């Protein structure tokens, strides 16, 4: 498929919040994503599971524009993300266009990546003040509200080095939400946590799902958690979606052999 075969904009009425259209990602000769098609509807919570190296984290990283595409186009809210229109044709997006589009996406990382030289509150205020141009007072109000929601308001003046992993991750969620994204990405946000604090992070995400109409994409190894809160679960294998369905379908009655193998391997390990 040539770039001219992709629409400049998705037609009205058929606009999922996120659309991967024939997206390929390669590192040298290694194909990480192989002509991936994936739609995520507005307000939908989609979980990606699969063995390591199956390309699941790459999906999130491409959506956050941390990686470039080698083929295909990603659309967000009907508009191309990875490409932009130039004289009626799609061309790879430049940094200026990316900055405009990126504002609708937020991401939380496995290792939190809080700014170590700033307090929890400063971490949350940084984006709203520097990027969105909010006044300090507005940004503070917004950030304190979110820190309260994630249960971290008492620790707002602490630096990350004084916080536990679970606490850091909750601050990181507040920091991402302070930018008011339409799409939130959670990349293995509990994988680096001690087992006893995983619950405090998953509970925050549960509340987000219950109380907000955010579109969310999550990569996780917590199968029970994925089953509880997802609208849809995608099982990735070899850079493709091997099987997808509702949590009950995919966990309760997997059709493909690879899905069955993976799920039973995970069950034994867990």
Residue numbers of the site for another protein (CB under 8 A)? Answer: 64-66, 95, 99, 102-103, 105-107, 109, 111, 113-119, 126-127, 130-131, 159-162, 175-176, 179
Between CA 94 and CA 56 the distance in angstroms is: 25
Nearer to another protein, 131 or 265 (CB): 131
Q: Report the C-alpha gap between 76 and 240 in whole angstroms.
A: 20
CA proximity to 38, closest of 217, 261, 205:
217
Min dist. Cβ of residue 111 to another protein (A): 6
Closest distance between another protein and the C-beta of residue 266, in Å? 26
Length of the chain (residues): 270
Q: Which is nearer to another protein, 48 or 174 (CB)?
A: 174
The beta-carbon contacts of 203-208 under 8 Å, at least 24 apart in sequence, are: 204/149, 204/150, 204/151, 204/170, 204/173, 205/173, 205/229, 207/149, 208/173, 208/177, 208/184
Where are the alpha helices (H) located in the chain, listed in sequence order? 56-63, 95-102, 120-130, 136-149, 165-177, 195-211, 223-229, 247, 257-269
Q: In what helix (H) or strand (E) does residue 185 lie, and over which residues does it extend?
A: strand 183-187
The nearer residue to another protein, 31 or 64, going by C-beta atoms, is 64
**Cβ nearer to another protein, comparing 123 with 222:** 123
Distance CA 226, CA 222 (A): 6
Reduced to 3 states (helix: H, G, I; strand: E, B; else coil), residue 8 is coil
- CB-nearer residue toward another protein: 40 or 172: 172
Q: CB of residue 95 vs another protein: minimum separation in angstroms?
A: 8
Min dist CB 224 to another protein, Å, is: 27
State the minimum distance, in angstroms, from the CB of residue 176 to another protein.
7
CB of 87 to another protein, least distance (A): 24
User: Among residues 117 and 256, whose Cβ is nearest to another protein?
Assistant: 117
Partners of residue 39 on adjacent β-strands: 19
Among residues 11 and 116, whose Cβ is nearest to another protein?
A: 116
CA atoms within 13 A on the CB side of 160: 19
DSSP labels for 207-226? HHHHH---EEEEE-S-HHHH
- Least CB distance from residue 57 to another protein, whole Å? 12
Cβ closest to another protein, residue 122 vs residue 220: 122
Min CB(203)–another protein separation in Å: 22
């Amino acid at each position: 498929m040539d770039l001219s075969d992709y629409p400049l904009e998705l037609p009205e009425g058929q606009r999922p919040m996120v659309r991967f259209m024939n997206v390929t990602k390669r590192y040298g000769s290694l194909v990480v994503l192989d002509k991936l098609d994936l739609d995520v509807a507005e307000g939908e919570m989609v979980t990606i599971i699969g063995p390591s190296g199956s390309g699941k984290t790459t999906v999130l990283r491409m959506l956050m524009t941390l990686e470039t595409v080698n083929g295909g186009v990603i659309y967000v809210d009907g508009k191309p993300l990875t490409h932009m229109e130039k004289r009626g044709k799609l061309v790879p997006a430049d940094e200026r266009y990316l900055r405009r589009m990126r504002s609708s996406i937020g991401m939380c990382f496995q290792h939190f990546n809080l700014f170590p030289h700033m307090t929890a509150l400063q971490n949350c205020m940084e984006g709203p003040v520097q990027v969105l141009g909010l006044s300090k007072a507005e940004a503070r109000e917004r950030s304190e509200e979110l820190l309260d929601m994630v249960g971290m308001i008492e620790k707002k003046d602490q630096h990350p080095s004084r916080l536990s992993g679970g606490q850091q991750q909750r601050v990181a969620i507040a920091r991402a939400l302070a930018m008011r994204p339409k799409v939130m990405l959670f990349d293995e946000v509990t994988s680096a946590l001690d087992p006893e604090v995983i619950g405090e992070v998953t509970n925050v995400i549960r509340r987000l799902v219950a109380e907000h109409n955010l579109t969310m994409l999550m990569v996780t190894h917590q199968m029970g958690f994925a089953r509880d809160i997802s609208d849809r679960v995608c099982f990735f294998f070899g850079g493709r979606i091997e099987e997808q369905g509702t949590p009950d379908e995919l966990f309760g009655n997997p059709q493909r052999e690879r899905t069955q193998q993976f799920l039973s391997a995970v069950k034994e390990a867990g």
